[in-house]
Amino acid sequence: MPKIYEYFGIYLLFYSNDHEPIHVHAITKDGREMKVTFHIKNSKITRIVYQDVKGKKSLTKPQLKNLKNLVQQEKLQIVNAWIKFFILKDRIKLRKITKKIK
């Protein structure tokens, strides 16, 4: 389960047995979880969908805002990390972001 980002108490990660469509799981230090799915058409991200995970607590409003800011800024890098891990079978390094994204 490679973690790709850590940002103010939120971890973005892939489950190692995950599937398409391209998506990441956002898990907080307090046990909340959300799935973020990337819809891609003609090599462009056309839509990003944020979904609560059944059986898990929803992110708080501040956590969701932080998550959306992170995903918006890093969306291409997240998709590239998916390709690197699942297609190219390469390792992913955790990237810690310590400055607030607006």
Domain presence at residue 44: yes
pLDDT at 80: 95
Number of structural domains the chain divides into: 1
CA separation for the pair 86, 17 (Å, rounded)? 9
CA separation for the pair 35, 28 (Å, rounded)? 12
Mean of the per-residue pLDDT values for the chain?
A: 94
Domain presence at residue 102: no
Residue with tokens 């979880």: 33
Domain presence at residue 18: yes
pLDDT at 24: 96
**pLDDT tens across 29-79, in order?**
999 999 999 999 999 999 999 999 999 999 999 999 999 999 999 999 999
Residue 5 has pLDDT above 90, yes or no: yes
Domain with 71, as residue range(s), is: 3-97
CA separation for the pair 37, 39 (Å, rounded)? 7
pLDDT at 58: 96
pLDDT over 90 percentage in the chain: 91
